[in-house]
Amino acid sequence: MRALIGDLLLTAWERCAGEHDLDRAVTMLGLALPATSREQLSALSLGERNVLLLGLHEISFGPRLRGFATCSQCGEPLEFALATGLLAEDLEARCGQCAVESDVGAAMQMRPVCTRDLLASLGEPDAAQARDRLLALSIGAEPAAGGALRTHPGVVETFERINAAADLTCTIACPACASAETLDLDLARFLWLEVRHAARRLMDEVDALAGAYGWSERAIVRMSPQRRGAYLEMLSA
């Protein structure tokens, strides 16, 4: 896996800027894993995809996910940091407990939901119909069959079980009112915000160094962060 730094960071920022977060996840992983096709990445279960996103975040931006939220009870700003390694271990364990394919009776086999499925469900008018679409896709049935499948014995329970690794949440205690706030962690969104922030910072450094020394963008982004930092310190001295 290649880190999103230098040229690759700017390429990720450029390609992902106009994409949906679901597409961004695949684009960023595709740049980091050039030997793996977009189709293969889109077909990974969400748990497997999220493990890769955590690994990519760690090698590109460090071993902690840092985020902000607001307490729903008192409005207090909340700040949190999560260890990517621990999150990845938990997800890998949960992925191992979920069968890749499960028999739900009547000759039906169910697989975990993947990014491709989520993209296909985006056009549904509400959450219930989107869920029905995902249920149908996971069994390989026609999209319109999702509603009927919900009534089939064991289908919903199996769906929940094999997709348990897709949900990633954390609970934060509010320091002001002591209430517990449960947050959904969108790893693709986390990684994209890091890419956007780091790319902007890198372009600011390119602008400063190119203006001072006449160096090309390629030469500057290929420097190590330490070397760029040293030149920027000399400029500000």
Count of CB atoms situated within 10 Å of the CB of 189: 14
Q: Does residue 67 sit in the same domain as residue 18?
A: yes
Report pLDDT for 109: 79
Q: Is the pLDDT of residue 78 over 80?
A: yes
pLDDT band at 118 (very low <50, low <70, confident <90, very high): very high
Q: Does residue 68 sit in the same domain as residue 178?
A: yes
Q: What is the mean pLDDT of residues 86-90?
A: 91
Domain boundary among 139, 162, 185: 162
Higher pLDDT, 101 or 61: 61
Q: Does residue 77 sit in the same domain as residue 182?
A: yes
Q: Is the pLDDT of residue 105 over 70?
A: no
Site of tokens 């919903």 = 156
Q: Does residue 4 sit in the same domain as residue 20?
A: yes
Q: Does residue 191 sit in the same domain as residue 91?
A: yes
Pair 161, 173: CB distance under 8 Å: no
What is the tally of structural domains in the chain?
3
Domain boundary among 142, 162, 182: 162
Q: Is the pLDDT of residue 147 over 80?
A: no
Domain boundary among 107, 131, 162: 162
Distance of CA 10 to CAs 152, 173, 230, Å? Answer: 48, 37, 21
Q: Does residue 9 sit in the same domain as residue 45?
A: yes
pTM: 0.88
Q: What is the mean pLDDT of residues 146-159?
A: 74
Q: Does residue 26 sit in the same domain as residue 104?
A: no
Q: Does residue 89 sit in the same domain as residue 10?
A: yes
Pair 174, 74: CB distance under 8 Å: yes
Q: Does residue 94 sit in the same domain as residue 211?
A: no
Distance CA 237, CA 233 (A): 6
Q: Does residue 34 sit in the same domain as residue 146?
A: no
Q: Does residue 175 sit in the same domain as residue 220?
A: no
Distance CA 55, CA 52 (A): 5
Question: What's the domain range around 208?
Answer: 203-236
Q: Does residue 94 sit in the same domain as residue 21?
A: yes
Give φ, ψ of 158 to 5 degrees. -65, -40
- Specify the 3-state DSSP secondary structure of 80: strand
Count of CB atoms situated within 10 Å of the CB of 81: 9
